[in-house]
Amino acid sequence: MVIVYGYRNSLNVKKRMGMRPCPNCGYNTEQAFAEEKFKATVFYIPIFSYTMRRGQVCPNCGMYRVLNRKEFKAEMNNY
């Protein structure tokens, strides 16, 4: 019997911050708060998942400003 297993990562955008200059590249881009999740799969069905990191993402340069859970919630409520 063959068991197909694997994993995948997904980036879930939680809240868009709107156009603002990126602290890394300086371009005016659509910044967002996002969570990166790791999902383990068996036969392509997700079995369990956990959040690897959460933070502020820039789509232009790929900057990922990592925040802990408390900072993430506080900053999301500020925008």
* Interface positions with Zn ion (CB under 5 A): 22, 24-25, 58, 60-61, 63
Nearer to Zn ion, 49 or 60 (CB): 60
Q: Residue 6 or residue 23: which is nearer to Zn ion going by CB?
A: 23
Cα–Cα dist 54/69, whole Å? 7
Q: How far is the CB of 70 from Zn ion (least distance, A)?
A: 24
Min dist CB 69 to Zn ion, Å, is: 23
Which residue's CB is nearer to Zn ion, number 40 or number 61? 61
Please return the burial class of 33, using the count of CB atoms within 10 Å of its CB with bins 0-12, 13-18 and 19+.
buried
User: Cα dihedral angle (46, 48, 53, 57), rounded to 10 degrees?
Assistant: 20
